[in-house]
Structure formats: structure tokens, C-alpha cells
Amino acid sequence: MSEKKLWWRDGIIYQVYPRSFQDTTGDGIGDLRGIIQHLDYLKDLGIDGIWLSPINPSPDVDFGYDVSDYNAIDPKFGTLSDFYELLEQAHKRDIRIIMDLVLNHTSDQHQWFQESRKSKDNPYHDWYIWRDPAPGGKAPNNWTSMVGGSAWKYDASLGQYYYHMFFEQQPDVNWRNPQVYAAMLDVFRFWLEKGVDGFRLDIFNEYFKDEQFRDNPTRRGLHLRAFDRTSHVYDNSQPEMLSLLNDIRKLMDCYEDRYVVGETFLVNSQKARAYIGKDRLHAGFDYAYANSGFSARAFGKAIQDWDSLHGREAWPNYFLNNHDTSRSSTRYNAGQSDARLKLLATMHLTVRGTPYLYYGEEIGMRDINLTYKEIQDPVGKTFWPLYKGRDGCRSPMQWDAQPNAGFSTGSPWLRVNTDYPIRNVVNQQASSASLLAFYKALIQLRREHPALHKGTLEMHASGSDRLLAYWRAWNNEKLLVVLNFSNLLTTMPLPGDPSQKWTIIFNGNEPITSQVAEGKLHLPGYGLAILRVNTE
Ligand code: NOJ
């Protein structure tokens, strides 16, 4: 492993959902200038890169994940010159910018699709996945859309169906068409030339579908959603993806210090790992960790699996939160206390891998609970009341106790959490016991200790529901991280000779902290400790 600092390996990446971060125009929607305004805050927090959810023009059927022009900035977020300024100001602070590229599908408002649907002999027709009806006028095969029903939409004027994995306003492009392939690589080039440091690829393993359009096999058992009634064998993860990843990586490597991370879709950890490597992506997101229950055993297993799948050849990454998932504070029933969140943060920032944080995670923002009328996310509207969608985790950032939590002087596009007068950045900056103070101290410690940011990982204890303990080592430094997932006082015998002296280098900012006595570590409920053996 190289001694040189690599921002995407040794650093921390922070996801900003631009609509919800900071509005500077009063239209109730966050914007690029709002992000610029808070760069000092992010620097002070200690992050190294920002992943921006999509900022390309979009009719917002799926809030940015339906792009109508890849080479522009959506006016609701600002201008290209605002974006240049964001890049410049971020780089000045040694913060990198990662853009979200949504290249599996476009918006139906994209000019390519507008042309494509005009006629079968339009030069853009084959840029999307059009098929003739099956006998009897039926859909070409049994593929289903993730958001309900068939994935095929009939276009009466053409007498053909087009394919969409998501909403019908998000037609999938035809990556098998060499012109599409080249146009998409140009999108990478366009933003690389502008100085962007990296990309997050939205559901990249969905780009290629089976060339013969074979039916997906039926799954046994009762499944509520049509989507779950078949195994998704033919509508994603086709082998053609690997040579494309190789082309993407070659392109990225023509520029210095760039990074590409992909969102895997419908695959297990083993398959996700196959997309990562020297001639593939730098990293990929996997869901096992974020989907773990609140238990030492479950997290221990997810970490051990993901870590060993990467081995020495690749670098794992971890996320607990993103714009599609209920916030960990809500998911893990943190209640009013932040003790569970401090425990999770310690794990998240000390395992071997790049930690991703999601805006507001550092102050423990909770999901908002919405009425049907308040729902913005089309997925929530579709599946209500079984599933309320993803608005819960997308509420505006809670900066201070001013109206709308200081997010906007207008009317926010999504309601602010009612707890904002208490739970906000300014309040937490003023308290040494806050979650924010905890994050800052831990991030600082992580920076100071190479073992914590680039060391190896070795499990020490992960077999119980209560205790998770692992070693991190780099050169002569060896640190033991111990986490108590229960609310009860728990004792762990320390390894080695009982007369050995240990120093706790971090045990958080809760009033009651962990202690070492007679070769044992005593941890309060949700207690934690990072220790090293005294050598003098
Ligand atoms: C995954 C994105 O994370 C999600 O927000 C979006 O709805 C789908 N891809 C479709 O682009």
C-alpha cells in the first residue's frame, strides 16, 4: 500500500443532497452557493471529499435521478460558473468533488429520447431499448420495473414498447449501441476536463441487459411486489459490464488522482466485489453493512465479509446512510439519546475502509414522518401506505434555531424536522458533549493515527451480540477498538499478560466512560474504547 496520502482511500467522503443542504435564493430548494457557504463547516468537520447527488438539469420525477442534459447544471441549483466556484473553493480547502452520474437511464425529456420516440428510422431511435410487442400485443418479456408493474411501456404511435427499470419517465438507454457508449464516455470526459475529482455511478451494473431479452425465472413463495416474483438474472449484471468498467478506468487514469465508485444494484457482496479492482472501479457500495441489525455479531460479520472480499488488492468502503435509506438514527431506534449513534460512528470511522457520511448524520438528524399529502418522492406515492418512500431521510439540514432551521428563508420543498430548535449545528457546536463534537474529535484522531485510516483490520471478538472488537495496525502501531452494543455494563478481558498496561486513547464524550482495571476493560452501556498497549 502506498505511503502517499490518497484522498479517497485515507479520507472521509460526505454526501450532500443539494436540494436539502442550504438554500440561498429563498425558493425553498438548496443550491450550489449554499454548499459553498458551508465549505468551512465541512473543512472543520474534517472531511476530504463531497459526493453531490445529481445537479444536472432534471424534471425531477425522481429528484435529479432523471437527467435531461448531462452537460449542464440545473438552473435551480445555480450556473456553471457557480459550479466552477464550488470546485475552486473546495479545492482550496483540500476537499474533492464527486459528481453523481446517472447513466443507466435518462429523463424522457432528454433530447435523445425525444428524438428516439419520433420514428423507427430516427438516428436516435436505437439509443433506447425499443422492442416489438410479443404475440397478442403483449409486453416483450416478463421483466418488471422496480417501482411496480411491467418494465415495458407501450408507445402507440410507434407500435413498440420501450424499457424502463424505474418510472416510465426514466427510459433506459441502449448501452449496446456504440454511439451511446461513446456519448456516455464523453460525459465523463466533459466533467473531468472541468476539474471534477470523481464520480459516483448510479446503478451501473444495470447498464447492460440480456442481449436475447430472455424471461427472468419465477421465484417461489409469496411476494408482495411483482418485482420480487422473479429472479433478476437477465435484466442486470451482464458480463459486458466488465469491459466497459475497464474503459471507464482507463479514461479516469488519464487524469491525476481521480476516483470512481459505483452503486451496485440487485447483487450480493461477492458480485459487487467483482466490479472493483485496478482495471475496474476504485470502490463499490454494498448493502450488507447498512442492512445489519443493531448487534455486534451482525456488524462484525458484515465487516469481516466485506473486508476479506477486498483482501490486500482493493479498498473497502462503508455507508450507514444515504438518500435512499431511512437514517441510521431512526433505523436503530436511537431515541432521544445519541449514545447508540456515538457507538456506530466509532465503528464507522475506525474500520478499514472509506467512511461515507450523509449530510446531517454528524448531528444525528432523525427521519421526518410524513402524511400522504406531504410526500414528494414518487416511490412513496406509489407504495403508500406500505412504504412511505425516501423523503424521511431527505429533510432540510438543521443549521440553527432560526425559522426553517436556517435552511431557507422561503418555504422548504420538504418539511424541516420539528426537533430543529434543539437538534442543530449551532447548538451542537456549543456543547462539548454533543454528537458533532464527538465526530470532530474522532475524525481528528483518525487523521493522526495511520493505523486507523490505512491500517490492516483483524477481528478480535465479534461472536456475541454485545461486543465487537478489532485490531487496526500500521507499521509499529497497533490499536484495539472495542464497542459495546448493549445498554448494560460489559467487561472484556484484555488480551496478553494481565499485568500489561493499556492506554485508552479515545472513549468518547459521554459522562460515564470505559475504564481498564486488572487486565479487563469495563464498558458502560453503549460504551467504547480505542486502546493501545503501553510499551514503556
Ligand atoms: C439509485 C438512486 O440512488 C435512487 O435514488 C434512484 O431513484 C435510482 N437509482 C434510479 O436512478
195-222 b/e (C-beta count within 10 Å ≥ 16 → b): ebbbbbbbbbbbbbbeeeeeebeeeeee
Name the residue of 70, 103, 202, 206 whose CB sits within 8 Å of the most ligand 1 atoms, as the mutation to test its pocket. 202
> From the CA of 178, how far away is ligand 1's center (Å)?
25
Whether the CA torsion 155, 228, 106, 184 is positive or negative: it is negative
Which residues are identified as catalytic? 202, 263
Q: Is the whole-model pTM more than 0.85?
A: yes
Please state, as a whole number, how many other Cβ atoms lie within 10 Å of the Cβ of residue 463.
Answer: 12
Tell me the pairing of strands 502-506 and 490-493.
unpaired
Residue length of the chain: 536
Q: Does 281 contact ligand 1 (Cβ within 6 A)? A: no
**Residue 44 to residues 48, 167, 194, 313, Cα–Cα distance (Å):** 11, 40, 26, 32
265 alpha carbon – ligand 1 mean position (Å): 10
Q: Is 204 in the pocket of ligand 1 (CB under 6 A)?
A: no
* Residue 40 confidence (pLDDT): 98
Q: Is the CB of 324 under 6 A from ligand 1?
A: yes
Q: What is the pLDDT of residues 268-312, one digit of tens each?
A: 999 999 999 999 999 999 999 999 999 999 999 999 999 999 999
Q: Where are the beta strands (DSSP E) in 343-417?
A: 354-358
For residue 109, the surrounding DSSP H or E stretch is none
Count CB-CB contacts under 10 A for residue 306. 21
Q: Which atom of ligand 1 is nearest to the CA of 322?
A: 3
Q: How far apart are CA 430 and CA 437, in angstroms?
A: 9
The whole-angstrom separation of Cα 269 and Cα 200 is 18
Atom of ligand 1 nearest to the CA of 324: 5
Residue 451: the pLDDT is: 97
Cis peptide before 385 (omega within 30 of 0): yes
Place of cell 441502449: 174
In this prediction, residue 534 carries a pLDDT of: 84
Contacts of 92 (CB under 8 A, 6+ apart): none
Among 10, 165, 9, 190, residue whose Cα is nearest residue 83:
190
Phi, psi of 346 (to 5 degrees): -65, -45
203 lines ligand 1 (CB under 6 A): yes
Residue with CA at minimum distance from ligand 1 atom 10: 65
Distance from residue 370's CA to the centre of ligand 1 (Å): 20
Residue 166 CB less than 6 A away from ligand 1: yes
Structural element, H or E, at residue 276? none
What are the start-end ranges of the H helices in 156-230?
Answer: 178-193
Cβ of residue 393 lying under 6 Å from some atom of ligand 1: no
**Dihedral angle sign, alpha carbons of residues 152, 154, 158, 160:** positive
**Amino acid of residue 457:** L
Between the CA of 302 and the centroid of ligand 1 the distance, in Å, is 23
Mean pLDDT by 10 residues, the chain (536 residues): 86 98 98 98 98 98 98 98 98 98 98 98 98 97 96 98 98 98 98 98 98 97 92 96 97 98 94 96 96 96 97 97 98 90 98 98 98 96 93 98 98 98 98 98 98 96 88 96 97 91 96 94 97 84
Q: Quick one: which atom of ligand 1 is closest to the CA of 104? A: 11
Q: Which domains does the chain have, with CATH numbers?
A: 7-107+175-443 (3.20.20.80), 456-533 (2.60.40.1180)
173 CA to middle of ligand 1, Å?
A: 15
Residue nearest ligand 1's atom 8 by CA: 65
Question: Beta-carbon neighbour count of residue 157 at 10 Å?
Answer: 8
> Is any atom of ligand 1 closer than 6 Å to the C-beta of 62?
yes
CB 286 within 8 A of CB 269: yes
Q: Rounded to an integer, what distance in angstroms lies between the CA atom of residue 374 and that of residue 318?
A: 31
Q: What is the pLDDT of residues 6-28, one digit of tens each?
A: 999 999 999 999 999 999 999 99
User: Is the distance from CB of 50 to CB of 14 less than 8 angstroms?
Assistant: yes
pLDDT at 536: 62
The per-residue DSSP string of 124-172 comes to TGGGB-EEPPBGGGB-SS--B-TTSSBSEEEETTTTEEEE-SS-TTSPB
Residue 369: the pLDDT is 96
287 ligand 1 Cβ < 6 A: no
Q: How far is the CA of 5 from the centre of ligand 1 (A)?
A: 31
Residue nearest to atom 5 of ligand 1 (CA): 324
**Secondary structure in 3-state letters for 407-440:** CCCCCCCCCCCCCCCCCCHHHHHCCCCCHHHHHH
Question: Is the CB of 65 inside a 6 Å radius of any atom of ligand 1?
Answer: yes
Distance 282 CA to ligand 1 centre (A): 20
- Using one digit for the tens of pLDDT, what is the confidence trace for 139-172? 999 999 999 999 999 999 999 999 999 999 999 9
pLDDT at 213: 98
